[in-house]
Amino acid sequence: MSGSYDVAIIGTGRVGLPLALAFADRGLRVLGIDHDPSILAAVREGRMPFEEPGATEVLARVSRAGRITWSDRVAEAAAATHVVTTLGTPSFSHIEIDLSQIRSVLDELLPHLRPGQSLTLRSTIAPRTTEFVAGYLQKHRGLVAGEDIFVAHAPERIAAGKFFDEIVSLPCIVGGVGERSGEVVGELFSVFGAPIVQTTAVQAELAKIWTNILRYATFALPNLLMMDCEQYDANVFEVIDLINRDYPRGGMAQPGFTAGTCLRKDFAFSEERSNAPGMLLAVSRVNESVPLFLVEGMKRRLGSLSGKKVAVLGLAFKSATDDERDSLAHKLIRLLERELADIAVHDPWVVGPTMPLEDAVAGADAVVVATNHPEFCAVATLSAIAAGASADALVVDPWDCWNAGQVFGYAAELVALASPV
List, for residues 96-115, the tens digit of each pLDDT value: 778 888 999 999 999 999 99
CA–CA gap between residue 370 and residue 316 (Å, rounded): 8
Residue 44 lies in a domain: yes
What is the C-alpha to C-alpha distance for residues 391 and 284, in angstroms, rounded to an integer?
37
pLDDT category, 91, cuts 50, 70, 90?
Answer: low
CA distance 348 to 350: 6
At 2, the pLDDT band (50, 70, 90 cuts) reads very low
Q: Is 125 left (phi over 0), alpha (psi -120 to 50) or beta?
A: beta
pLDDT score, position 93: 59
The answer to whether 102 and 132 are in contact (CB under 8 A) is no
Beta bridge partners of 151: 119, 177
- Choose one of 151, 176, 209: the last residue of a domain: 209
Q: Are 26 and 93 within one domain? A: yes
pLDDT digits (tens, 9 = 90+) for 214-231: 999 999 999 999 999 999
Model confidence at 420: pLDDT above 70: no
Decide: 147 and 183 in contact? Cβ < 8 Å. no
- Pair (256, 362) in one structural domain: yes
**Are residues 200 and 243 both part of a single domain?**
no
CATH number at residue 87: 3.40.50.720
Question: Do the domain assignments include residue 227?
Answer: no
Long-range CB pairs of 194-197, under 8 A, 24+ apart, other chains included: 194/167, 194/168, 194/169, 194/170, 195/171, 196/171, 196/172, 197/171, 197/172, 197/173
Is 266 part of a structural domain of the chain?
yes
CB atoms within 10 A of CB 97: 22
252 shares its domain with 202: no
| Segment 171-175 mean pLDDT | 98
Q: What pLDDT is attached to residue 258?
A: 87
Per-residue pLDDT at 92 exceeds 90: no
Among candidate residues 151, 174, 209, the one where a domain is terminated:
209
Claim to verify: residue 167 and residue 32 sit in the same structural domain: yes
Mean of the pLDDT values across residues 338-348?
Answer: 97
pLDDT score of 1: 38
Mean pLDDT for the stretch of residues 397-411 = 94
- What is residue 279's predicted lDDT score, i.e. its pLDDT? 85
184: pLDDT strictly greater than 70: yes
Same domain, 115 and 239: no
Q: What is the pLDDT of residues 251-262, one digit of tens each?
A: 999 999 987 766
202 and 242 fall within a common domain? no
Do 59 and 153 lie in one domain? The reply is yes
Give the chain's domain count: 2
User: Residue type for 78, please?
Assistant: A
CB atoms within 10 A of CB 115: 12
Which of 209, 242, 267 terminates a domain? The answer is 209
Residue 76 in domain: yes
User: Which strands sit side by side in the sheet containing 196-200, from one edge to the other?
Assistant: 68-71, 30-33, 5-10, 80-85, 118-121, 150-153, 172-177, 196-200
**70 within 8 A of 43, measured Cβ to Cβ:** yes
- Flag whether 223 is in a domain: no
Q: Residue 323 pLDDT > 60, yes or no?
A: yes
**34 and 117 in a common domain:** yes
Residues 262 and 410 in one domain: yes
CA dihedral 105, 107, 113, 119 (to 10 degrees): 40
Residue 215 lies in a domain: no
Contacts of residue 117, Cβ cutoff 8 Å, sequence gap at least 6? 78, 80, 81, 82, 83, 149, 150
Does 15 share its domain with 128?
yes
Distance (Å) of CA 219 to CA 241, 254, 299? 16, 7, 25
Q: Would you say residue 214 lies in a domain?
A: no
Q: Could you tell me the residue range of the domain that residue 31 belongs to?
A: 5-209
165 and 238, same structural domain?
A: no
Q: Is residue 218 part of a domain?
A: no
Q: What's the pLDDT band for 301 if we cut at 50, 70, 90?
A: very high
Number of residues written out for the chain: 421
